[in-house]
Amino acid sequence: MKDRRAALRHLLGELIPRKASYVWEIGSGHGHFLAAYAKAHPLELCIGIDIASERIGRAERKRDRGRIGNLHFIRAEAEDYLASCPEDSHFETIFILFPDPWPKRRHHKNRVVTSTFLSATAARSRRGAGLFFRTDHEPYFREVASLLARHPDWKLADSPDWPFEEETVFEKRAPSHFSLEARRR
Ligand SMILES: C[S@@+](CC[C@H](N)C(=O)[O-])C[C@H]1O[C@@H](n2cnc3c(N)ncnc32)[C@H](O)[C@@H]1O
C-alpha cells in the first residue's frame, strides 16, 4: 500500500498544478459523464478515477478520440487517492455517479461514501465546493443524505441543482434514480 500511494502521489504531483481547484469523479467507469463534462467546460481541470483498469483504458480512449486536454483518467482507489493527492490543490466539484451499492449490511463498509470519506473530501475542498451524488439504490441514497445532514463540514441542499447531464452506462440501465447536492460549509 505504501508503494502504491507513493507512486500515486508522484503521478498526481506531476499532473495537478499547484493551488489548482479541480473536478473529481470517483468511479468514472467508461468515462461518459466526465468526458462530456470536460468537453463542455474546457477551462476546468477534470480527473476521473476508477479501480478497474479496463474501464480506465476505455475512458482514456474516449478522451483521446475527443482530444479533451483538460481531462485525465487514473486507475486509483478513492481512499488511496485522498491520501495521495497534493495538499495544495482542492476539489471544486466532486461527482459520484451510481457507485456500487453493496446492499448487504455486512458489506456496507465497502461503500465509497462514509463519514470518513466526507471528512477527507471536506479537508481537500474550499467553502462552496459542490458534492453531487446519484444512485438508483434508494437505501444508499438515504444513508448518504443522512450522513451529509449530520456532517459538520457539508450542507445538504434542499433540492439538488444538478450542474450537467450526460447519461452514464449505469444510468441508462436504471429504471429511476435519486440525486443529491451538498456544499462545503
Ligand atoms: C456501478 S459502477 C458505475 C460507473 C459509472 N459511474 C456509471 O454510472 O456508469 C461503479 C464504478 O466504481 C468503481 N469503483 C468501485 N469502488 C471504487 C473505489 N473505492 N475507488 C474508485 N473506484 C471505485 C468500479 O470499478 C466501477 O467502475
Residue 49: CB within 6 Å of ligand 1? yes
Residue 78: CB within 6 Å of ligand 1? yes
What pTM was estimated for this model as a whole?
A: 0.98
Q: Which of 24, 26, 37, 50 to mutate to test the pocket of ligand 1 (most atoms within 8 A of CB)?
A: 50
How high does pLDDT run on average in the chain? 97
Give 139-158 pLDDT, tens digit per residue.
Answer: 999 999 999 999 999 999 99
The total number of structural domains in the chain stands at: 1
Which CATH number characterizes residue 43's domain? 3.40.50.150
User: 14 in a domain, yes or no?
Assistant: no
- The mean pLDDT of 33-59, rounded to a whole number, is 98
Residue 25: CB within 6 Å of ligand 1? no
1 — pLDDT class (breaks 50, 70, 90) = confident
33 — pLDDT class (breaks 50, 70, 90) = very high
Q: Find the domain containing 153 and state its range.
A: 2-9+19-184
In the residue annotation, 64 being an active-site residue is answered as no
pLDDT for the residue numbered 163: 97
Cα(159) to ligand 1 centroid in Å equals 25
Residue 77: CB within 6 Å of ligand 1? yes
Give 87-134 pLDDT, tens digit per residue.
Answer: 999 999 999 999 999 999 999 999 999 999 999 999 999 999 999 999
* Beta partners for residue 84, in sequence order: none
